Structure 1
């Protein structure tokens, strides 16, 4: 038996040496799937392996052209012979491509060396019934994509990343498009963008990232099929940038909405359903803070029905930047789950407790990746007043003027990520333990510095357990 086993291994090794490997016997569909994970340059290179592999690459369902991968490693420096090499490579791959459909086509390149060739390459790919189109084009002068891109029944996913005006044809039709991402583009004047959004009856996901809206005075995004909408505004804002576009969002089936930016554009969000999850980040801007506060309140007016919300500390502070808009903050009657992300600024705990007054049914409160230790020891008297009342441990500790209803009657769970046990965290925890009458559990996910410090964990636990706790069923757990 041992001798027979050795003969079998020798025979297998000889077959591999002769090029008769097991992978080559796999069906074409499996080999195509494997090759689709490789950059196109490497997929084409497999043609030298054997006769079996010679033409497999010509029918791979995914094509990825990235000029940076083909240039020599000199940073951003590129030369004419490298450009010619890249252009020849793309031309040959598309020319030798068989008649099979292309599932995904990605092109990332500089358009400046030959806009006409880029136009031809995209048109050639579209001719293969592309389902996913990803174009990342670096443009130095106006460039218009082929009209066949915008009159297309096969496309299901489209991504345009272009540092130029998105020039659109007069006729647009995307009957099957489900995902659309626009990045870095400048929207043109007129109604072409309105026409684009209205020409996607099956669209489910829309992402508008770092785009320029300033050529538009107003636009409506009304897509009944839309389920996910992400808007990330430009990461800079001057005092004059608040004269942006009025964006009305009317999508009754949205289940996810994310906004990040300075509200340089005014967003009117029609009421989201209670099943929707919203994520909002608005950094504080001192200039024109009244306008920002008004726009923040208007945005929150469209979120009043949601049951789950993730917001940054800056967003909450924006709500309270102008006193005369406080009466317009809506009551979140359905909101049961609140996540707080990003760092805590000075005075934030007091502002948070003010915000909780508008969340009468909150059940779970999560602090995500925050650095609460950057809080000022004194929170200020705008939201905090009075001496230590059994919750603080010394001078500088304050009690809120009133305890939010949700803390008294509905709050059941509190989670802290990267808990460090610093004074601001301890003050907030003591306040919650004293006043949260139905609180069931507090989970403290320790920071790296605290995770292995069992002695400090024990001291913190003893300090908190020694309090007069409002809820008799609350448990405290270190994670």
Structure 2
């Protein structure tokens, strides 16, 4: 039975009376705080809701600008027009903005802008007493924005400077960041070691430091001693002519990914609060590391210091034989927390050092051979007869892979190209597997379909020692 029309109208009237706009009745400061959680462009779009919401976006405490939605193709009129529209949008919003201080100012730009424009935007944020200043820009190296103001702020708590291209900065003599706790520099070239020293002496309360792809090619020696630093990330930096030493006894988390011999020395010999370390040792930055033993010594000391808390280790290229080659009076340190080990391309002579490390890692669960099992000295083609002779000299039983099979539950072999060395070593792993649950083999994505099928057939014919082991074959992921 259908409800009467009169009854339907009564229900509709009741709903309309109960559906009041309670959100708009909130105070302005609360609504402004709510809009601060939205991207600035979305917050501005609420102005079309009603006259009540028309200028509420000007009360936000977080401003985030990204020109990606209005970026055209490079070198086109559309790109120029999009840049002009974005500048007009930012300038108008900053002119209407009313709240001070602001909590965060974020700027991400795909296009390049004049230094005068960027300086005006950054000056606005600094004058508003911004606490978090983050930017990611395509900066023109011949006219970068004036960065002096960034390093003379009494309100900044977090500063993140990311360039899409390298650009140089020089820390002013009057640098002073009394409240800064988070510093993130990416693709930054420091003009001298004095700038590096002034930078760290200006922020005594720094708790989190990230240096990515930063460079300094000048001579110098800087020692940064701090009891406040707890989180340290250093990736792909290079200070080949100088030495940068970080003494942080209260360091808690470390992520370190560098080529060996870059003269960056994180040190926490007296730390009692260390929790986790992830270390990656890349290839050499020198042609002859035998003449740069001091640089290698720094990396070796770092490994020993972080061994007790290291959860992830990655050795790439020729770093293994230099880092793990111990002196006669040295012993391989214990790695009680190590769960993941990445192994890159290195000579067979380095196997004994790696397996000695694995013997010291009782919690090891995952082993990844990033460059697979193949001989560096001869052809990688399937069943090639053009062998160098070197890959015939060691038999699989001569290569100590047993520790990997005994402990690891997951083993990944990347870049499998069908070379007989690869198949023999994979077979050796399977024959000795006891707790291994998964063996994943990634083939080289450049292989012919016929060769890939042949490799798959050969892998499936390999014997398995562990009944629970699952052999999988996949295409090489884009990550490697």
Same fold (TM over 0.5): yes
Q: Residue 257 of structure 1: which of 249, 254, 260 is its match?
A: 254
Partner in structure 1 of residue 282 of structure 2: 283
CA distance, structure 2, for counterparts of residue 5 and residue 336 of structure 1 = 74
Deviations 1:139-172 (A, max 9, x none): 2324453644323332221101243221322222
Deviations 1:254-287 (A, max 9, x none): 2222222324521233245473433222333483
CA distance, structure 2, for counterparts of residue 377 and residue 426 of structure 1 = 20
* Residues 265 and 299 in structure 2, CA contact (< 8 A), matched pair in contact too: yes
* Residues 367 and 408 in structure 2, CA contact (< 8 A), matched pair in contact too: no
Partner in structure 2 of residue 158 of structure 1: 159
CA distance, structure 1, for counterparts of residue 389 and residue 27 of structure 2 = 73
What's the CA shift for 1:96? 0.9
Q: Residue 313 of structure 1: which of 315, 322, 336 is its match?
A: 315
Deviations 1:82-134 (A, max 9, x none): 44433332222111111343221012348975423322221211222222101
Partner in structure 2 of residue 167 of structure 1: 170
* Residues 197 and 223 in structure 1, CA contact (< 8 A), matched pair in contact too: no
Deviations 1:420-456 (A, max 9, x none): 99653442354564xxxxxxx544375799xxxxx99
CA distance, structure 1, for counterparts of residue 357 and residue 80 of structure 2 = 62
CA distance, structure 1, for counterparts of residue 299 and residue 258 of structure 2 = 12
Gaps of 5+ in 1: 235-240, 387-395, 434-440, 450-454, 467-474
Partner in structure 2 of residue 200 of structure 1: 203
Change (3 A) 1:52 1:415: farther
CA distance, structure 1, for counterparts of residue 292 and residue 88 of structure 2 = 52
Q: Does 2:230 correspond to 1:268?
A: no
Change (3 A) 1:329 1:444: farther
Q: Does 2:218 correspond to 1:215?
A: yes
Q: Residue 444 of structure 1: which of 434, 438, 445 is its match?
A: 438
3-state secondary structure, aligned to 1:160: strand
Partner in structure 1 of residue 98 of structure 2: 98
What's the CA shift for 1:58? 0.7
Q: Residue 12 of structure 2: which of 10, 13, 28 is its match?
A: 10
3-state secondary structure, aligned to 1:398: helix
Deviations 1:375-417 (A, max 9, x none): 459999999998xxxxxxxxx322358x99xx69xx9842315
Change (3 A) 1:426 1:295: farther
Gaps of 5+ in 2: 379-387, 415-421, 444-456, 473-480
Partner in structure 1 of residue 302 of structure 2: 302
CA distance, structure 2, for counterparts of residue 29 and residue 425 of structure 1 = 64
CA distance, structure 2, for counterparts of residue 293 and residue 279 of structure 1 = 23
Deviations 1:163-220 (A, max 9, x none): 3221322222222222110111110225232111122222111111111211353322
Partner in structure 1 of residue 408 of structure 2: 414
CA distance, structure 2, for counterparts of residue 147 and residue 47 of structure 1 = 36
What's the CA shift for 1:65? 2.2
3-state secondary structure, aligned to 1:464: coil
Q: Which moved more, 1:31-40 or 1:164-173?
A: 31-40
Deviations 1:336-379 (A, max 9, x none): 1334555643656x634423435764212233554575445999
Partner in structure 2 of residue 354 of structure 1: 353
* Residues 123 and 149 in structure 1, CA contact (< 8 A), matched pair in contact too: no
Q: Does 2:62 correspond to 1:62?
A: yes
* Residues 235 and 257 in structure 2, CA contact (< 8 A), matched pair in contact too: yes
* Residues 165 and 185 in structure 1, CA contact (< 8 A), matched pair in contact too: yes
CA distance, structure 1, for counterparts of residue 411 and residue 17 of structure 2 = 56
Q: Does 2:365 correspond to 1:366?
A: yes
Q: TM-score, normalised on structure 1?
A: 0.73
* Residues 331 and 359 in structure 1, CA contact (< 8 A), matched pair in contact too: no
Q: Which moved more, 1:115-124 or 1:269-278?
A: 269-278
Q: TM-score, normalised on structure 2?
A: 0.73
3-state secondary structure, aligned to 2:316: helix
- Measured on the aligned residues, the alpha-carbon RMSD in Å equals 4.5
3-state secondary structure, aligned to 2:259: coil
